């Protein structure tokens, strides 16, 4: 049976933090594509202070494309043409001294030059400008990304078929279909409400809050990508876990130094 190595409180981060959010936005058509990876290949790529959060002795690397809409600070409305864009990120899962399980982003690509500039400056995240598109028709969803990396182009072309809700038809289920049950791989991979960032300074962290994902099973029809390898990670096998969620309404809370 698969196990989580660290006994970490995974409920507390899902609770809404006190105080006023820094901003709001919505995430649409999220696809979670995951590889199982040797921890020794990932741990050296993390900043000091963070430790890999592992499942069944393995690190997990995710490729997550989606669309954003309604992006705005708490004090202003969304601006048409500025507050919506597409994004894809490469990530892994970490914790800080046995608590606050969260996400470390190796890269984030978006098709909004303004969003990239703001995120790099304000959120200290490794955003890159790219050409992107997200399109859904019925139960099929397409994602495309192209980023210039010097003389090369890196990116992804992914086609996925959306399936039934997670746990649909499962007798005696403790939560409604679609909800990830604590202690499962889906909960470990998807229910993450802490992010870490660092760009030439101290390690920082921020919280996000949204209702738990309504998760659907998904199957890859096509997955051609070079974004994961661009981070210095080369999975030995194809993706082993895929999931989809239609929508999350998100509150984002301010960055602060880790430990404060």
Give mean pLDDT in consecutive 10-residue pieces for the chain, a chain of 260 residues.
65 95 97 98 96 96 97 83 92 96 97 92 94 97 92 93 96 95 96 95 96 98 97 94 98 92
Contacts 24+ apart (CB under 8 A), 257-260: 257/202, 257/203, 257/204, 257/205, 258/49, 258/96, 258/196, 258/202, 258/203, 258/204, 258/205, 259/96
How far is C-alpha 117 from the geometric centre of its chain's CA atoms? Answer: 19
Distance CA 134, CA 204 (A): 30
- What's the confidence (pLDDT) of residue 2? 46
Q: How far is CA 27 from CA 14, 41, 58, 142, 240, in A?
A: 17, 30, 28, 16, 23
What CATH architecture is 21-257? Beta Barrel (2.40)
The phi and psi torsions of 98 (rounded to 5 degrees) equal 80, 15
For 225, the 3-state DSSP assignment is strand
Q: SS3 for 157?
A: strand
Taking the model in full, what pTM does it have? Answer: 0.95
E strands along 82-240, which residues?
A: 85-96, 99-110, 127-129, 131-137, 140-149, 152-165, 194-197, 204-209, 215-225
Look-up of token digits 């993390």: 46
């Amino acid at each position: 049976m698969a196990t989580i190595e660290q006994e970490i409180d995974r409920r507390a981060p899902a609770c809404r933090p006190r105080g006023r959010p820094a901003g709001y936005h919505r995430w649409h058509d999220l696809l979670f594509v995951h590889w199982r990876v040797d921890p020794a290949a990932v741990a050296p790529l993390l900043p000091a202070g963070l430790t890999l959060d592992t499942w069944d002795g393995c690190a997990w690397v995710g490729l997550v494309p989606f669309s954003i809409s309604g992006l705005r600070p708490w004090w202003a409305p969304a601006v048409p043409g500025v507050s919506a864009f597409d994004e894809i990120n490469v990530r892994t899962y970490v914790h800080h001294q046995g608590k606050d399980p969260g996400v470390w982003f190796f890269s984030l690509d978006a098709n909004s030059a303004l969003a990239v500039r703001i995120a790099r400056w304000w959120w200290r995240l490794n955003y890159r400008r790219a050409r992107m598109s997200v399109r859904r028709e019925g139960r099929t969803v397409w994602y495309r990304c192209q980023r210039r990396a010097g003389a090369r182009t890196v990116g992804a072309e992914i086609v996925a078929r959306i399936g039934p809700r997670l746990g649909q038809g499962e007798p005696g289920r403790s939560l409604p279909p679609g909800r990830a049950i604590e202690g499962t791989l889906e909960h470990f991979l998807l229910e993450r409400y802490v992010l870490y960032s660092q760009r030439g300074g101290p390690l920082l962290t921020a919280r996000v809050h949204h209702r738990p994902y309504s998760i659907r099973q998904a199957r890859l029809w096509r997955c051609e990508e070079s974004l994961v390898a661009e981070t210095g990670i080369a999975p030995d096998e194809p993706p082993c876990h895929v999931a989809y969620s239609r929508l999350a309404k998100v509150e984002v809370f301010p960055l602060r130094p880790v430990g404060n």
